[in-house]
Amino acid sequence: MFVALDARDERIQIETHEQAVRLRTAGTPYRCPACREELIIRNGRVLPAHFAHRSGSDCVVGEPESRDHLLGKHLLAEWARAAGWQVDFEVYFSGIKQRADLVLRRPGTVHALEFQCAPLSGQRLAERTAGYAQVGVTVQWLLGPRYFADHPTAVQGKFETWGPERGRELRFVDPRRRRMWAWWGITGTGMQVEELAPYPRPAVWRPRGVSLAQEASRVVQALAYRDKAAVAVQSMCYERGVNLGGCPVVVHRCLTAVAGLTDKEWLVRVRWLLRFWRERVWSVTASKQWWCDYVEPARVPLLGQRSVAEVAATAWLDVLIGEGYLVREGNTLRWIRWPRWYADVDRKLGAINRGEY
């Protein structure tokens, strides 16, 4: 931690090794702002100078921080100040009983940064984000090394945000290499990767590199492992005289890979086909509302249920309309032709390999 209370109960922020030497020399006792226990000053060569509780402390707020977390907070403060922000470490909001890693201020603006290096449940993420909203503070979650990967999974997905210009987005900080980058425009086929700091560079498209045949093979895997949701949908398919293994190729195209769905996205698309296949006309609104039932809000506290449903439903309608299965007239949808179902997965994969789907 970089903040303590001095003998006059005033905040003191430790930021340099030289300052740490001066504070030690002064001999003033420093206490934790949360538990009021006396703190020690650590001033080694590897980590930034910081305050710490003595061994055996049970202060929850003052739990030991990892090297990455300390370095990351220091780095973010450096970048923020260079961009003209006033920066305070570890600001405690008593009304919501939360401590922000950093708070950035400009006239009329207060912004919290949370550098997440440890595991965090979706529920806790939602609670902390709602807490900041309660006191009128916007918050940005930045992900540390634990969350690094080549492509997003459910582990990172709960931190996704959405904006009209950049779509779904995640941001990462590597404190040891002193880098910050963003993934944005995230879809099932790839995403934009943009370097943000210290040297901003234009975004570069990173494809996901999964073939249509590989996506289709996941149906076989789900049934082979007796996935409960897949088995349930297989039963629904049998009732309608079709086979899940032979479900239309279109269900595997242009997947969004959006987090928060209760089932695999292709499986939810099959459910949608079984629900709407007898409809002559129906509305775009009804289709999007249907998708809401297959979103678990706790998994996507920052995106929210409706945003996830919007992303998944829009992509699905776009591919159906684009391939000539549906036509949209305002808010109304109607079938032009029914997607082809195959007798089994082998015939379906054969059609994919021949390009005859």
pLDDT in tens, 9-40: 888 888 888 888 888 888 888 988 878 888 88
Domain hosting residue 93, numbered range: 65-209
Peptide bond into 198 cis (omega under 30): yes
Note whether 151 and 40 are same-domain residues: no
Note whether 203 and 268 are same-domain residues: no
Q: Tokens 């710490």, residue?
A: 52
Question: How far apart are alpha carbons 219 and 225 in whole angstroms?
Answer: 10
- Which pLDDT value is given to residue 310? 96
Question: How far apart are alpha carbons 331 and 159 in whole angstroms?
Answer: 32
Note whether 202 and 216 are same-domain residues: no
Backbone angles phi, psi at 23, to 5 degrees: -65, -40
Note whether 237 and 298 are same-domain residues: yes
**Two tokens, residue 172:** 């990462």
Backbone angles phi, psi at 143, to 5 degrees: -100, 135
Note whether 46 and 131 are same-domain residues: no
Q: What band does 61 get if pLDDT is binned at 50, 70 and 90?
A: low
- Which pLDDT value is given to residue 62? 58
Note whether 202 and 236 are same-domain residues: no
- pLDDT > 70 in the chain, percent: 99
User: Domain of 114: which CATH number?
Assistant: 3.40.1350.10
Note whether 117 and 165 are same-domain residues: yes
Note whether 87 and 43 are same-domain residues: no
Residue among 47, 13, 48, 55 nearest 30 (CA): 13
Give the Cα-Cα-Cα angle 34, 77, 96 (nearest 5 degrees): 35
pTM recorded for the entire structure: 0.85
Count of domains forming the chain: 3
Query: Where does a domain end: 47, 64, 81?
Result: 64
- Which pLDDT value is given to residue 199? 95
Note whether 154 and 197 are same-domain residues: yes
Note whether 290 and 318 are same-domain residues: yes
Q: Is the pLDDT of residue 8 over 70?
A: yes
Question: Sign of the C-alpha dihedral, residues 215, 220, 226, 232?
Answer: positive
Question: How far apart are alpha carbons 336 and 338 in whole angstroms?
Answer: 7
Let me know if 7 is exposed, middle or buried by CB neighbors in 10 A (0-12, 13-18, 19+): exposed
Mean per-residue pLDDT for 206-231?
Answer: 92
Note whether 291 and 174 are same-domain residues: no
Note whether 69 and 174 are same-domain residues: yes
